[in-house]
């Protein structure tokens, strides 16, 4: 397994973020490698989503630094993060329900002709290719995504991230939340396949079973602080749960 | 859930799988039937509007054939709603993007007076004055858009303030009297005149504006972003759509079309009245809503808005021909708006009930 080989693609050092008096994140370090799945776990309010939003450029850290392939970077918005190869699948706010599959896949970066008109034919072709590569079952590229199942919608959100040029890291916020058992499994399979293709993946999840079925390393946050990082092969769900709730580790 | 062994997990998974599958099949079976019905209604909103339009046409053609079914009457009917249609094309962009402009009537008013005053009091070349009015229109809209997108004040409030503000400014600027133009020359021919002997130029202008607006909305990247912005603002923003700029352009486009409407109004009447455009916003927004643009944004088409405009025109003209006063036409339009709003709500209620069923 190609874990922790070479330079981490994305590095965070001393990341801190406050919202008013709330210290959402305090001096968190993390390394994200390609070919690897890093799970971020923690209780509600532990700082998971703040951390993800910093990595994806939605929030800017008050203190601390981000490095991409060893170079210091500053993401002023999510667009900058995408340019640096970091794509994010946001929970709930990923898709435009009233638009079709193809537009959702290429939202914000539609192929154009004469830089003005959308190249609809190319967009549909590319959409079929993206969905085909993901090996998920979506019958039509022209159906409104509001009509699709939770798993299909999640696949489209992931497809949007994977089809991005130069994407090296994909961050997924609760990719299996609100999915049934079967659909969750499909999405987890998809995540594993993406890892095999060389992408580094950050998964935020509440579901310990899902975390243990895909993650290579598990990072635990508690009240905005880094509790620790464990290799999956060297830890147990019990230990992780204890780290999450802050119980004594004996 | 109690702690269980690995084996226990597998059993639990198996049971859950069976249950989920059963539920899924039930849902698919249940929604398949319903969705085809709803899909048809939603997908064919334009068809439904066309049917309503044809129905109304047939109704008036049967009840008042000798007055309704003349080319003069039909051309008048369309001409009377041409300015509404022109501005409604811009309003469609705005409302699909999730915003609204209540000030289009006052904007039309002030731009008409600016044109009249420039030409009549200052003796400015009418073409130059028209160019100034178009530019000023775009600026007025851009200001609305900047206040809405930068300061985050809802467009409903911003443009409500502009509605009264511009009307007051119009009264001050006009010295509360009409300003007339010469009424001769190419400018007046292609604004207030007719083409091919009898077709009013304003109808041609409306058709051109709506055709171009429709093509851009359906085919351009900007049009895609208008729908996306109204459909899900957050998702669009996170996907790199410049939602602020999308809205700003829609505001500017709408007010720019108010400028075009002001030019056509001045060219037709050959005079700028301080009261021009009073109540105009009601008709424009009415045409857009009747035309099937979702009040929640994200859905609608310029073709639908064209049909909405024509339907309002038919009701207004038809009822007058039936011997009823103009006031009844406004009542009928009001009823139509409420009816479409109710339909919209019913569709969405049905949709959320369906989703509730999925969650269960």
- Tell if the CB–CB gap between A93 and B239 is shorter than 8 Å: no
- Tell if the CB–CB gap between B227 and A110 is shorter than 8 Å: no
Residue-wise pLDDT for A97-148, tens only, equals: 999 999 999 998 899 999 899 999 999 999 999 998 888 888 899 998 988 8
In this complex, which of A93, A96, A118 lies closest to B220 when CB atoms are compared?
Answer: A118
For chain A, helix (H) and strand (E) counts, in that order, are 8, 12
Give CA B38 to chain center in angstroms.
23
Distance from CA of A5 to the nearest CA of B (A): 31
Q: Is the pLDDT of residue A2 over 60?
A: no
Residue-wise pLDDT for B105-124, tens only, equals: 999 999 999 999 999 999 99
Q: pLDDT-derived band of residue B21, with 50, 70 and 90 as boundaries?
A: low
What is the structure's pLDDT at A90?
82
A31 within 8 A of A21, measured Cβ to Cβ: no
Q: CA-CA distance, B192 to B183, in Å (whole number)?
A: 9
In this complex, which of A78, A99, A149 lies closest to B238 when CB atoms are compared?
Answer: A78
For chain A, say whether B241 makes contact (Cβ under 8 Å).
Answer: yes
Closest CA to A94 of A38, A171, A36, A191: A171
For chain A, say whether B13 makes contact (Cβ under 8 Å).
Answer: yes
The SS3 assignment for A109 reads coil
Residue-wise pLDDT for A216-229, tens only, equals: 999 999 999 999 99
Kindly state the average pLDDT of the residues B280-286: 93
Spatial neighbors of B219 by CB under 8 A, at least 6 apart, are A117, A118, A120
Q: Exposure of B318 by Cβ count < 10 A (0-12 exposed, 13-18 middle, 19+ buried)?
A: buried
What is the structure's pLDDT at B103?
97
In this complex, which of A58, A90, A107 lies closest to B241 when CB atoms are compared?
Answer: A107
Query: What domains sit in chain A, N to C, each tagged with a CATH number?
Result: 10-94+168-245 (3.40.50.300)
B110 within 8 A of B169, measured Cβ to Cβ: yes
Q: CA-CA distance, A90 to A103, in Å (whole number)?
A: 17
Q: pLDDT-derived band of residue B7, with 50, 70 and 90 as boundaries?
A: very low
Q: Which helix (H) or strand (E) holds B289?
A: helix B280-290
Kindly state the average pLDDT of the residues A154-167: 87
- Tell if the CB–CB gap between B17 and A181 is shorter than 8 Å: yes
Q: Which residue of A has its CA nearest to B12?
A: A181
Chain mean pLDDT for chain A: 89
- Tell if the CB–CB gap between B235 and A99 is shorter than 8 Å: no
In this complex, which of A99, A112, A181 lies closest to B221 when CB atoms are compared?
Answer: A112
What is the structure's pLDDT at B352?
58
Spatial neighbors of A40 by CB under 8 A, at least 6 apart, are A48, A51, A52, A202, A203, A204, A205, A219, A221
Residues of B in contact with A95 (CB under 8 A): 232, 235
- For the entire predicted model, the pTM comes to 0.85
Q: CA-CA distance, B80 to A196, in Å (whole number)?
A: 65
Q: For A89-109, b where at least 16 C-beta lie within 10 A, e where not — what string?
A: bbbebbbbbbbbbbbbbbbbb
Which token pair is B132? 């100034």
Q: pLDDT-derived band of residue B27, with 50, 70 and 90 as boundaries?
A: very low
Q: Exposure of B48 by Cβ count < 10 A (0-12 exposed, 13-18 middle, 19+ buried)?
A: middle
Higher pLDDT, A6 or B111: B111
Residues of A in contact with B224 (CB under 8 A): 99, 103, 110, 118
Closest CA to A189 of A231, A90, A201, B13: A201
What is the structure's pLDDT at B19?
53
Chain pair A-B, CB pairs under 8 angstroms: 84
What is the structure's pLDDT at B205?
97
- Tell if the CB–CB gap between B235 and A116 is shorter than 8 Å: no
What is the structure's pLDDT at A55?
93
Check whether domain B45-342 has CATH 3.10.450, yes or no:
no
For chain A, say whether B17 makes contact (Cβ under 8 Å).
Answer: yes
Of chain B residues 19-58, which have a CB less than 8 A from chain A?
Answer: 20-21, 23-24, 35, 39
Q: Is the pLDDT of residue A16 over 80?
A: yes
| Beta strand ranges found along chain B (DSSP E) | 179-180, 194-195, 199-200, 271-272
Q: Which residue of A has its CA nearest to B42?
A: A98
Q: CA-CA distance, A197 to A200, in Å (whole number)?
A: 9
Residue-wise pLDDT for B63-88, tens only, equals: 998 999 999 999 999 999 999 999 99
Q: Is the pLDDT of residue B42 over 90?
A: no
Residue-wise pLDDT for A79-103, tens only, equals: 889 889 999 888 766 799 999 999 9
Q: pLDDT-derived band of residue B1, with 50, 70 and 90 as boundaries?
A: very low
Q: Is the pLDDT of residue B33 over 50?
A: no
Q: CA-CA distance, B86 to B93, in Å (whole number)?
A: 12
Residues of A in contact with B221 (CB under 8 A): 110, 112, 116-118
Q: CA-CA distance, B22 to A58, in Å (whole number)?
A: 40
Residue-wise pLDDT for B322-345, tens only, equals: 888 877 888 888 888 888 778 777
Residues of A in contact with B17 (CB under 8 A): 181-182
What is the structure's pLDDT at A137?
84
- Tell if the CB–CB gap between A182 and B21 is shorter than 8 Å: yes
Q: Is the pLDDT of residue B356 over 80?
A: no
Kindly state the average pLDDT of the residues B166-179: 94
What is the structure's pLDDT at B181?
86
In this complex, which of B20, B227, B241 lies closest to A98 when CB atoms are compared?
Answer: B227
Residues of A in contact with B234 (CB under 8 A): 93
Kindly state the average pLDDT of the residues A65-89: 90
Kindly state the average pLDDT of the residues B296-301: 91
Kindly state the average pLDDT of the residues A224-243: 92
Q: CA-CA distance, B209 to B302, in Å (whole number)?
A: 10
Spatial neighbors of B309 by CB under 8 A, at least 6 apart, are B81, B84, B85, B88, B206, B287, B291
Chain mean pLDDT for chain B: 86
- Tell if the CB–CB gap between A98 and B21 is shorter than 8 Å: no
Distance from CA of B218 to the nearest CA of A (A): 9
């Amino acid at each position: 397994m190609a874990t922790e080989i070479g330079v981490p693609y994305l590095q965070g050092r001393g990341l801190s973020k406050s919202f008013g008096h709330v210290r959402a994140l305090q001096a968190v370090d993390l390394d994200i490698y390609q070919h690897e799945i890093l799970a971020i776990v923690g209780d509600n309010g532990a700082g998971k989503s703040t951390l993800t939003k910093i990595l994806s450029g939605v929030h800017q850290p008050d203190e601390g630094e981000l490095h991409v392939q060893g170079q210091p970077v500053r993401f002023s918005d999510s667009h900058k993060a995408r340019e640096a190869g970091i794509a994010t699948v946001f929970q709930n706010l990923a898709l435009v329900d009233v638009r079709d599959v193809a537009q959702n896949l290429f939202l914000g970066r539609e192929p154009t002709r004469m830089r003005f008109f959308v190249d609809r034919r190319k967009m549909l072709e590319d959409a079929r290719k993206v969905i085909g590569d993901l090996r998920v079952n979506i019958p039509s590229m022209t159906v409104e995504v509001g009509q699709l199942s939770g798993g299909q919608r999640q696949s489209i959100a992931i497809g949007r991230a994977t089809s991005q040029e130069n994407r090296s890291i994909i961050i997924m916020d609760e990719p299996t939340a609100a999915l049934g058992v079967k659909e969750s499994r499909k999405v987890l399979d998809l995540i594993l396949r993406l890892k095999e293709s060389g992408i580094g993946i950050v998964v935020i999840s509440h579901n310990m079973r899902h975390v243990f079925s895909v993650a290579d390393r598990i990072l635990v946050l508690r009240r905005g602080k880094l509790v620790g990082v464990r290799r999956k092969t060297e830890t147990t769900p019990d230990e992780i749960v204890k780290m999450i709730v802050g119980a004594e580790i004996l | 859930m109690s702690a269980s062994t690995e084996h226990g997990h597998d059993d639990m998974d198996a049971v859950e799988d069976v249950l989920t599958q059963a539920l899924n099949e039930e849902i698919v079976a249940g929604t398949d039937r319903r969705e085809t019905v709803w899909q048809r209604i939603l997908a064919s909103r334009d068809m439904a509007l066309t049917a309503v339009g044809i129905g109304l046409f047939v109704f008036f053609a049967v009840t008042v054939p000798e007055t309704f079914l003349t080319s003069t009457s039909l051309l008048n009917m369309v001409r009377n709603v041409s300015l509404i249609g022109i501005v409604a094309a811009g309003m469609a962009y705005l409302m699909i993007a999730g915003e609204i402009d209540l000030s289009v009537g006052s904007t039309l008013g002030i731009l008409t007076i600016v044109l009249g005053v420039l030409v009549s009091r200052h003796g400015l070349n009418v073409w130059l004055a028209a160019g100034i009015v178009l530019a000023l229109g775009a600026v007025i809209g851009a200001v609305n858009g900047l206040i809405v997108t930068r300061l985050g004040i809802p467009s409903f409030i911003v443009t409500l303030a502009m509605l009264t503000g511009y009307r007051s400014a119009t009264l001050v600027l006009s010295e509360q009297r009409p300003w007339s133009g010469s009424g001769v020359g190419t400018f007046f021919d292609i604004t207030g005149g007719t083409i091919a002997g009898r077709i009013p130029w304003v109808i041609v202008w409306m058709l051109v504006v709506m055709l171009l607006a429709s093509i851009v909305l359906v085919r351009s990247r900007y049009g895609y972003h208008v729908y996306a912005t109204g459909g899900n603002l957050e998702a669009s923003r996170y996907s790199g759509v410049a939602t602020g700029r999308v809205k700003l352009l829609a505001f500017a486009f709408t007010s720019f079309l108010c400028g075009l409407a002001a030019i056509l109004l001045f060219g037709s009447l050959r005079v700028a009245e301080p009261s021009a455009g009073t109540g105009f916003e009601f008709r424009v927004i009415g045409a857009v809503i009747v035309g099937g643009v979702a009040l929640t944004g994200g859905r609608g088409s310029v073709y639908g808005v064209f049909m909405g405009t024509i339907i309002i025109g038919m009701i207004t003209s038809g009822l007058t021909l039936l011997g009823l006063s103009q006031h009844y036409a406004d009542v009928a339009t009001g009823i139509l708006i409420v009816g479409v709003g109710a339909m919209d709500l019913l569709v969405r209620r049905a949709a959320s009930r369906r989703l509730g069923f999925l969650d269960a």
